């Protein structure tokens, strides 16, 4: 009985946390002809209090007939450890992958990003009720372990979700996935089929997937983006029964003559996870305005006015995605830093912006100054990533995971090659209840918090130390590309050791720089604020 109530407590906490509109992930998916260097780019901000520890899980081989446990609670945002929901057959061979809350990249340059989307209440499934076993974070792990290509990953996730049941872990909602390899990019949307589903009764999930054209960019921001499904096109994949719940519940009448619209049929009409949410529309507006600046975009337009994907006016790069992830919604009506409440009179009665003015005011400051909440692109972010999948290089060097801790606006990105066997302990030792500057995330988190508390004064201080480091990182990365190509050309046995060494050195350099940033900000605050 005690264990039962522990599970119930976890679920209630998950529901409370996940309903906060600052929790939700933004992703940008870039086809190879839309990127600056010909790579396929994938990305995600993990907005919430999630497990940011970066670990390399090695590939393995398993004997015939072995099973593997599947879990609930893998995100790291709950007070209790993950608990087993069941077991499914293990693959004979698994691939190495990078483990985070939402595991994101594997040794074959396959990348997966996540963004929760809404689904109608009658579709939702709950742990311990019915028979659904697989959360999206568990499905992402299974796909990264078992697949080499994005198309394989879409089909495997769909097959497993149908067989074992899809279980929404973020507010019991549906999920949108960005799935990419060196050649293709897909968006997949996955929904549950109800709390009372039983294995073997019917498919335990419905899903559709659409390929992003090579010359296009697609945006994920917590709302369904797939509408009509062309069942005769190779650019669409779908579960055979994706219309069945709509027919069963009377949400769609095939006799009407109207085409079946996935998004309009299954998405909720209101709430933070709906297409009508300003939480969604604000991000769509800001990102489209940045990538298609010559067009006029209504900041309050419905999400239907935005295309599934589009050709950007300029090719997009890793740096370009970094800039978008750092966006405070500047230049739009949604930037909280621009609110008039921040302006205070000085001696000559001239209004000036307070040093406390920030694009990320907390709830108490918003209540004090009566500032309406408008969600930035990245807020309360545990980590973010950008992946490069490059077809012209072998996977160990062709795949690059650009990984950042905490909110991108304050942090920087470390390049990690797909072939590395490990990362420094300081990037995988974060504990919520154990502050130490020996943890890279604690160093970045402290720097972010100190900067945000006196944003106008402290942001220049942070940038004065971070920006030169970031410039050096890109310079070093270009040098790595030359060295790595040389080692590949000569089939050097030193390649593995070289990749591990340069990655570790760069990640430690970032960690130590943020320790210095934190110390500088503490000194700045102490000297200026106390005197």
HEC profile of 355-390: CCCCCCCCHHHHHHHCCCCCCCCCCCEEEEEEEEEC
Helical pair 440-453 and 495-529, crossing angle rounded to 10 deg = 30
Burial state string for 219-237 with b = 16 or more CB within 10 A and e = fewer than 16: bbbbbbbbbebeeeeeebb
**What number of other Cβ atoms are within 10 A of residue 83's Cβ?**
15
Dihedral through CA 291, CA 323, CA 283, CA 77, nearest 10? 150
Give the single-character DSSP code of 37: S
**What residues form DSSP beta bridges with 47?**
381
User: What are the tens digits of pLDDT across the range 235-263?
Assistant: 999 999 999 999 999 999 999 999 999 99
Radius of gyration of the chain (CA): 23
Distance, in Å, from the CA atom of 20 to the CA atom of 393, rounded to the nearest integer, reads 42
Mean pLDDT computed over every residue of the chain: 93
According to DSSP, the β-strands at 206-211 and 236-238 are antiparallel
Check residue 346 and give its pLDDT. Answer: 85
- Is the distance from CB of 382 to CB of 52 less than 8 angstroms? yes
Q: Using one digit for the tens of pLDDT, what is the confidence trace for 67-80?
A: 999 999 999 977 77
Tokens of 104: 């994101």
Residues of the chain with pLDDT under 70: 1-23, 528-531
Rounded Cα distance, 508 and 443, in Å: 12
Q: Is the Cα dihedral 474, 480, 482, 485 positive or negative?
A: negative
Which DSSP string corresponds to 212-279? PPTT-EEEESSS----B--TT-TTEEE-TTTTHHHHHHTS--GGG-PPPBHHHHHS-SSSTTSTT-HH
388/42 Cα distance (integer angstroms): 7
Q: Are 249 and 122 in contact (CB under 8 A)?
A: yes
* The pair of three-digit structure tokens given for residue 452, joined into one six-digit string: 């945000």
Question: What pLDDT score was predicted for residue 7?
Answer: 40
Q: Which pLDDT belongs to residue 23? A: 62
Cβ pair 68, 87 in contact under 8 A: yes
Residues 76 and 80: their CA atoms lie apart, in Å, by: 9
**Residue-level pLDDT at 530:** 54
Alpha helices (runs of H) in 298-439, residue ranges in sequence order: 318-325, 363-369, 395-398
For the record, the structure tokens of 498 come out as 């070289």
Separation between Cα atoms, residue 293 and residue 310, nearest integer Å: 13
- Nearest residue to 95 via CA among 55, 59, 56: 59
Query: pTM for the whole thing?
Result: 0.94
Task: Yes or no: say if 306 and 282 are a contact pair by the CB < 8 Å rule.
Answer: no
pLDDT tens for 383-417 read: 999 999 999 999 999 999 999 999 999 999 999 99
All residues at 6 or more sequence positions from 475 whose CB lies less than 8 Å from its CB, including other chains: none
Mapped onto helix, strand or coil, the DSSP state of residue 15 is helix
What is the predicted pLDDT for the residue at 111?
Answer: 98
- The per-residue pLDDT for 307 is 96
Q: For the stretch 494-528, what's the b/e string if a residue is b when 16 or more beta carbons lie within 10 angstroms of its beta carbon? A: ebeebbbebbbebbbebbebbbebbebbeebbeee
191: its two tokens: 């929904």
């Amino acid at each position: 009985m005690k264990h039962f109530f522990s599970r119930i407590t976890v679920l209630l906490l998950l529901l409370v946390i996940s309903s906060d509109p600052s929790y939700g992930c933004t992703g940008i998916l870039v086809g190879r002809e839309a990127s600056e260097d010909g790579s396929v780019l994938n990305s995600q901000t993990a907005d919430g209090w999630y497990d940011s520890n970066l670990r390399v899980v090695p590939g393995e081989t398993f004997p015939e007939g072995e099973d593997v446990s599947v879990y609930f609670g893998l995100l790291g945002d709950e007070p209790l450890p993950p608990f087993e929901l069941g077991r499914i057959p293990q693959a004979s061979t698994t691939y190495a992958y990078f483990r985070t809350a939402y595991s994101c990249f594997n040794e074959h340059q396959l990348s997966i990003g996540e963004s929760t989307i809404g689904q109608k209440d009658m579709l939702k499934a709950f742990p311990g009720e019915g028979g659904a076993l697989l959360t999206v974070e568990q499905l992402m792990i299974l796909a990264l372990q078992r697949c080499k290509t994005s198309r394989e990953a879409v089909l495997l996730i769909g097959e497993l979700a149908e067989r074992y049941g899809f279980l929404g872990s973020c507010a019991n909602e549906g999920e949108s996935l960005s799935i990419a390899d060196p050649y293709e990019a897909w968006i997949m949307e996955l929904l549950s089929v109800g709390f009372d589903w039983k294995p073997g009764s019917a498919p335990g999930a419905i899903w559709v997937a659409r390929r992003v054209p090579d010359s296009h960019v697609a945006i994920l921001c917590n709302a369904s983006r797939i509408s009509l499904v062309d069942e005769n096109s190779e650019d669409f994949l779908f579960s055979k029964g994706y219309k069945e719940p709509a027919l069963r519940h009377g949400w769609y009448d095939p006799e009407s003559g109207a085409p079946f619209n996935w998004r309009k049929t299954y998405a909720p009409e209101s709430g933070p996870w709906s297409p009508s949410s300003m939480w969604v529309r604000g991000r769509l507006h800001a990102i489209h305005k940045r990538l298609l600046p010559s067009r006029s975009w209504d900041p309050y337009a419905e999400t239907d006015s935005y295309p599934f994907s589009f050709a950007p006016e300029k090719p997009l790069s890793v740096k370009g995605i970094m800039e978008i992830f750092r966006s405070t919604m500047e230049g739009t009506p949604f930037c909280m830093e621009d609110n008039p409440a921040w302006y205070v009179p000085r001696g000559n009665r001239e209004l000036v912006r307070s040093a406390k003015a920030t694009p990320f005011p907390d709830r108490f400051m918003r209540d004090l100054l009566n500032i309406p909440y408008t969600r930035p692109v990245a807020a309360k972010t545990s980590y973010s990533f950008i992946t490069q999948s490059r077809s012209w290089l072998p996977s160990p060097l062709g795949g690059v995971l650009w990984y950042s801790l905490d909110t991108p606006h304050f942090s920087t990105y470390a390049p990690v090659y797909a072939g590395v066997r490990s990362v420094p302990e300081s990037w995988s030792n974060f504990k919520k209840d154990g502050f130490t500057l020996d943890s890279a995330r604690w160093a970045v988190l402290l720097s972010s918090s100190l900067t945000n508390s006196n944003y106008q004064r402290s942001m220049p201080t942070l940038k004065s130390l971070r920006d030169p480091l970031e410039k050096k990182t890109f310079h070093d990365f270009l040098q790595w590309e030359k060295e790595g190509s040389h080692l590949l050309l000569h089939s050097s046995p030193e390649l593995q050791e070289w990749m591990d060494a340069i990655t570790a050195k760069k990640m430690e350099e970032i960690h130590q720089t943020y320790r210095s940033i934190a110390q500088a900000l503490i000194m700045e605050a102490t000297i200026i604020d106390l005197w």
